[in-house]
Protein backbone atom coordinates (compact mmCIF):
# COMPACT_ATOMS: atom_id res chain seq x y z
CA UNK A 1 0.00 0.00 0.00
CA UNK A 2 1.19 3.49 -0.78
CA UNK A 3 2.46 5.50 2.14
CA UNK A 4 3.66 9.09 2.34
CA UNK A 5 5.73 9.81 5.43
CA UNK A 6 6.34 13.47 6.24
CA UNK A 7 8.92 15.00 8.54
CA UNK A 8 10.53 18.33 9.31
CA UNK A 9 7.63 20.35 10.62
CA UNK A 10 7.81 22.33 13.82
CA UNK A 11 7.81 25.78 15.34
CA UNK A 12 10.07 28.60 14.25
CA UNK A 13 10.39 32.35 14.69
CA UNK A 14 9.47 34.66 11.83
CA UNK A 15 12.37 34.92 9.42
CA UNK A 16 13.57 31.43 10.20
CA UNK A 17 13.76 28.33 8.04
CA UNK A 18 12.44 24.79 7.95
CA UNK A 19 12.91 21.91 5.56
CA UNK A 20 10.10 19.42 5.05
CA UNK A 21 10.64 15.93 3.69
CA UNK A 22 8.18 13.39 2.35
CA UNK A 23 9.14 9.83 1.46
CA UNK A 24 6.69 7.92 -0.72
CA UNK A 25 6.65 4.15 -1.03
CA UNK A 26 4.52 1.19 -2.00
CA UNK A 27 3.56 2.08 -5.57
CA UNK A 28 4.14 -0.06 -8.64
CA UNK A 29 3.90 3.11 -10.73
CA UNK A 30 6.14 6.13 -10.81
CA UNK A 31 5.19 9.20 -8.83
CA UNK A 32 4.96 11.55 -11.79
CA UNK A 33 4.09 14.56 -9.66
CA UNK A 34 4.95 15.24 -6.04
CA UNK A 35 4.48 18.33 -3.97
CA UNK A 36 3.04 20.16 -1.03
CA UNK A 37 -0.27 21.72 -0.11
CA UNK A 38 -1.15 23.54 3.09
CA UNK A 39 -4.26 24.31 5.06
CA UNK A 40 -4.54 27.09 7.61
CA UNK A 41 -7.35 27.20 10.18
CA UNK A 42 -10.61 28.20 8.55
CA UNK A 43 -9.07 28.16 5.07
CA UNK A 44 -9.24 25.71 2.17
CA UNK A 45 -6.30 23.52 1.27
CA UNK A 46 -4.05 25.44 -1.12
CA UNK A 47 -1.20 24.49 -3.41
CA UNK A 48 2.26 25.43 -2.21
CA UNK A 49 4.52 23.82 -4.79
CA UNK A 50 4.65 20.88 -7.21
CA UNK A 51 7.49 19.15 -8.99
CA UNK A 52 7.45 16.58 -11.79
CA UNK A 53 9.82 13.66 -12.25
CA UNK A 54 11.60 15.84 -14.82
CA UNK A 55 12.11 18.59 -12.21
CA UNK A 56 9.56 20.99 -13.66
CA UNK A 57 8.25 23.10 -10.79
CA UNK A 58 5.17 25.14 -10.01
CA UNK A 59 4.89 27.52 -7.05
CA UNK A 60 2.11 29.52 -5.51
CA UNK A 61 2.66 33.27 -5.51
CA UNK A 62 3.26 33.27 -1.76
CA UNK A 63 5.94 30.59 -2.07
CA UNK A 64 7.88 32.10 -4.96
CA UNK A 65 11.24 33.48 -3.94
CA UNK A 66 11.13 31.97 -0.46
CA UNK A 67 10.43 28.26 -0.87
CA UNK A 68 12.28 25.72 -2.99
CA UNK A 69 10.88 22.33 -3.92
CA UNK A 70 13.12 19.47 -4.98
CA UNK A 71 12.98 15.69 -5.26
CA UNK A 72 15.19 12.65 -5.23
CA UNK A 73 13.66 10.17 -7.67
CA UNK A 74 15.87 7.32 -6.49
CA UNK A 75 14.39 7.70 -3.01
CA UNK A 76 10.87 8.78 -4.04
CA UNK A 77 11.33 11.71 -1.71
CA UNK A 78 10.22 15.31 -2.13
CA UNK A 79 11.57 18.23 -0.11
CA UNK A 80 10.39 21.73 0.62
CA UNK A 81 13.01 24.20 1.80
CA UNK A 82 11.21 27.12 3.43
CA UNK A 83 13.14 30.30 4.10
CA UNK A 84 12.10 33.72 5.41
CA UNK A 85 9.08 32.20 7.07
CA UNK A 86 6.17 34.45 8.01
CA UNK A 87 3.32 33.97 10.49
CA UNK A 88 1.03 33.66 7.46
CA UNK A 89 2.84 30.43 6.58
CA UNK A 90 1.42 28.76 9.69
CA UNK A 91 -0.59 25.76 8.52
CA UNK A 92 -0.71 22.01 8.28
CA UNK A 93 1.45 21.02 5.33
CA UNK A 94 0.37 17.95 3.35
CA UNK A 95 2.56 15.91 1.07
CA UNK A 96 0.99 15.08 -2.29
CA UNK A 97 1.99 12.37 -4.76
CA UNK A 98 0.39 11.32 -8.03
CA UNK A 99 0.80 8.30 -10.27
CA UNK A 100 -1.05 7.52 -13.49
CA UNK A 101 -3.53 5.55 -11.38
CA UNK A 102 -4.18 7.59 -8.26
CA UNK A 103 -3.43 10.55 -6.03
CA UNK A 104 -2.12 10.13 -2.50
CA UNK A 105 -1.84 12.35 0.56
CA UNK A 106 0.27 12.36 3.67
CA UNK A 107 -1.20 12.84 7.12
CA UNK A 108 0.14 16.37 7.36
CA UNK A 109 2.79 18.07 9.45
CA UNK A 110 2.25 21.22 11.48
CA UNK A 111 4.31 24.32 10.72
CA UNK A 112 3.96 27.17 13.18
CA UNK A 113 5.66 30.53 12.64
CA UNK A 114 5.58 32.98 15.52
CA UNK A 115 6.14 36.72 15.27
- Structure confidence at residue 56 (pLDDT): 97
- Alpha carbon of 61 to those of 16, 17, 30, 46, 83: distances in Å? 19, 18, 28, 11, 15
Query: What pLDDT shows up at residue 87?
Result: 98
Q: What is the CA radius of gyration of the chain?
A: 13
Residue 79's pLDDT band, with cuts at 50, 70 and 90, is: very high
Tens-digit pLDDT profile for residues 2-17: 999 999 999 999 999 9
pLDDT at 23: 97
Please report which confidence band the pLDDT of residue 29 belongs to, taking 50, 70 and 90 as the band edges.
very high
Give me the chain's average pLDDT, please. Answer: 97
Q: Measured between alpha carbons, how far is residue 102 from residues 56, 87, 89 in Å?
A: 20, 33, 28
> Contact 48/55 with Cβ under 8 angstroms?
no
Amino acid sequence: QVQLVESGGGSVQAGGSLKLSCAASGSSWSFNVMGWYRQAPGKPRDLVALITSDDITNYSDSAKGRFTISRDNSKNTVYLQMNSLKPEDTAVYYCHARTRLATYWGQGTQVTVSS
